[in-house]
A = this chain, B = another copy of it.
């Protein structure tokens, strides 16, 4: 008989925490994979898939690291453009999906299971652990995958070492001013919701809200300078559908 119920085996059981983000995604890997592959997320089809693809393509990378790659659609699309893609995600079931669906006839993809804490602690720059990918990538991209608090900040600080010279960090995230609802415009954990998704989803992940100022400060604190910021517009609402940051390591 285990001393801990299964939930606690995944770590901190606080309702609003980096550990709960991971737990939720562990539980929803299968419906999430279906939702992405069926094009069930309207804003992605209408706006944000193209926004992240365009931003990555614009810097013409040869090699891309997809951080929080999920079931892999972004890496698969970039591989179809001829880019050499590696993906990391904390959820083994999603990494397996990314591996299985990597498109034939493209450069091989390299998908690994790693938490943001692992990355922060050097798992991607240590051949004795996961990989020695130091200086390997022209772009590190994270598409709606920077959901947490400290885990995100610590992970980002490890990214400059993974980038090739003149490499870029590209992040797409919810547009804070639009996605924040009526809550005060201050950083902090927010309750999650699967509103608009199918009934197969359970245990929505909390998410850590950051203001635009805080996103820019976060990137800066990780050793980057902002090169550009985009606010892709949802054609249905005329409002920003997301925030895209493009940054480079500071000299």
Query: Known: A177-B178, A186-B233. Is A217-B228 also a contact (CB below 8 A)?
Result: yes
Instruction: Tell me if A's interface is mostly helix, strand, loop or mixed.
Output: mixed
Query: Known: A177-B177, A225-B225. Is A213-B231 also a contact (CB below 8 A)?
Result: yes
Could you tell me the distance in whole angstroms from the C-beta of A151 to the nearest C-beta in chain B?
A: 24
Q: Is the CB of B217 within 8 A of A231?
A: no
A212 / chain B contacts, CB cutoff of 8 Å: 212, 229, 231
Complex Cα spacing A53 to B186, Å? 21
Say yes or no: is A211 at the interface (Cβ < 8 Å to chain B). Answer: yes
A216 / chain B contacts, CB cutoff of 8 Å: 226, 228-229
Complex Cα spacing A229 to B183, Å? 21
Say yes or no: is A197 at the interface (Cβ < 8 Å to chain B). Answer: no
Say yes or no: is A184 at the interface (Cβ < 8 Å to chain B). Answer: yes
- How many copies of the chain does the oligomer comprise? 2
Q: Is the CB of B229 within 8 A of A213?
A: yes
Query: Known: A177-B177, A177-B178, A212-B212. Is A184-B238 also a contact (CB below 8 A)?
Result: yes
A226's contact among B186, B211, B226, by CB below 8 Å, is which?
Answer: B226
> A interface vs B, CB < 8 Å?
175, 177-178, 183-186, 211-213, 216-217, 220, 225-231, 233, 238-240, 251
Besides the known contacts A185-B231, A211-B231, A216-B228, 16 further A-B residue pairs in the complex with CB atoms under 8 A apart: A177-B177, A177-B178, A183-B238, A185-B233, A185-B238, A185-B239, A185-B240, A186-B233, A211-B240, A212-B231, A213-B230, A213-B231, A216-B229, A217-B228, A225-B226, A226-B226
